[in-house]
Amino acid sequence: MTTQLSPPAIAETQTPDSVSTPDWAFRATDLRIAYEGKTVLQDVDLNIARRRITALIGPSGCGKTTFLQSLNRLTDMIPRCTVDGSLLLSEQVFKEQGFGDLDLGSPELDVVRLRRRVGMIFQRPNPFPLSIRRNLELPLREHGVKDPELLRRRIEKSLRDVGLWDEVADRLEQTATALSGGQQQRLCLARALVLEPEILLMDEPTSALDPLAAAVVEDLIQSLRDRYTIVIVTHNLAQARRLADDVAVFWVREGTGRVIETGTVAQIFDRPQDPDTEAYVRGLRG
């Protein structure tokens, strides 16, 4: 069964199965991911809509992070991790058109092209042990931005985008690891934004932060709505409800992770079809 994630305007009036939206960013078909021969995720049929926020929810150990990492091929870094089935990135997310959809399963895939369009934020803030400026300058220089004036402008813009500019403008040369946890996470977001991606993958971006810093980062994610395609893994159901347009529920069945239900946030939280989804979103299970 292939379920489609769809815009709310259509979804409110139609059943999800009959909706077909062409404006997707990722399309997974019969995806299976295994570590050292052991399947951790299978039968994943999932469309992730463009310029919407999709939350991946479900209990720990059901493959959400693994799935997220397959979206920018970070699974390459896991020894003996194999990804089967079809996983496509729509050509629409690229600035230059006409190259067709990107097959993320292809061994010849240009991961640089992929990762410049798909940024990632991790659970624990991971600024590089360099100055604040160098954290942002490094990816820019790596991808060909050398002009000092342009570098300065793009660094300032991305820091302003995450509300960090006023806090750090006078100490750009200081080491980034001296920032608070919340500031570090916002810097990591700025570092992803500085490459002007279209898609942001977020792996529990607020779970390692104190409640106040988490709220700031969550507001920030809200502010990116409509401009970016965001895929966020979260264990915080209230956060999923506040942030997401669409939700995919991951669950372990017969020993492997699967996607058991997808839909708009209203469908999943108010009219869940699957009994496990219902128990999970009501806080009874998982």
Partner 1 sequence: MAEPRSHTQARDFWTATVLWLGAGSVLALLAWILGDLLLQGVGRLSWGFLTEPPSDAGRSGGVAPMIISTLWILAICLATAVPLGLAAALFLTELASRRTGRWVRHSLDALAAVPSIVFGLFGNALFCHVLGLGYSILSGGLTLACMVLPLVVRTTEAGLSNVAQEIRQGAAALALSRVTTLRTLVLPAAAPALLVGLVLGIGRALAETAALIFTSGYVDRFPESIHDSGRSLSIHIYDLSMNVPAGNDTAYATALVLVVLLIASQQLATWGIHRWIQPERSVR
Q: Which residues bind partner 1 (CB under 8 A)?
A: 72, 74, 76-77, 79, 111-112, 114-116, 119-120, 122, 124, 126-131, 133-134, 137-139, 142-143, 148, 151, 173, 188, 191-192, 195
Closer CB to partner 1, residue 148 or residue 255?
148
- The count of C-alpha atoms lying within 13 angstroms of the C-alpha of 213, restricted to the half-sphere facing its C-beta, is 17
User: How far are the Cα atoms of 70, 79, 116, 238, 280 from residue 244, in angstroms, in the given order?
Assistant: 20, 32, 24, 10, 17
- How many whole angstroms separate alpha carbon 95 and alpha carbon 286? 41
Q: Quote the DSSP letter at residue 90.
A: -
**Cβ nearer to partner 1, comparing 133 with 241:** 133
**Residue closer to partner 1 (CB basis): 22 or 148:** 148
DSSP character at residue 73: T
DSSP 3: B
Q: How far is the CB of 21 from partner 1 (least distance, A)?
A: 27
- Distance in angstroms (rounded) separating the CA atoms of residues 64 and 129: 28
Greatest extent of the chain over all pairs of C-alpha atoms, in Å = 57
Q: Which residue, 230 or 237, has its beta carbon nearer to partner 1?
A: 230
Burial class (CB in 10 A: 0-12, 13-18, 19+), 43: middle
Minimal distance, residue 128 CB to partner 1, in Å: 6
**Rounded least distance, CB 279 to partner 1, Å:** 33
Minimum separation from the CB atom of position 150 to partner 1 (A): 11
CA distance 37 to 257: 15
Any bridge partners for residue 246, and if so which?
Answer: 54, 264
Give dist(CA 114, CA 69) in Å, integer: 12
- State in angstroms the smallest separation of the CB of 141 from partner 1: 9
Residue 157 buriedness (CB in 10 A; 0-12 / 13-18 / 19+): middle
Kindly state the smallest distance separating residue 142's Cβ from partner 1, in Å: 5
Residue number, 190 or 268, with CB nearest to partner 1 = 190
Nearer to partner 1, 130 or 266 (CB): 130
Q: How far is the CB of 80 from partner 1 (least distance, A)?
A: 9
- Is 53 or 172 the residue whose CB approaches partner 1 more closely? 172
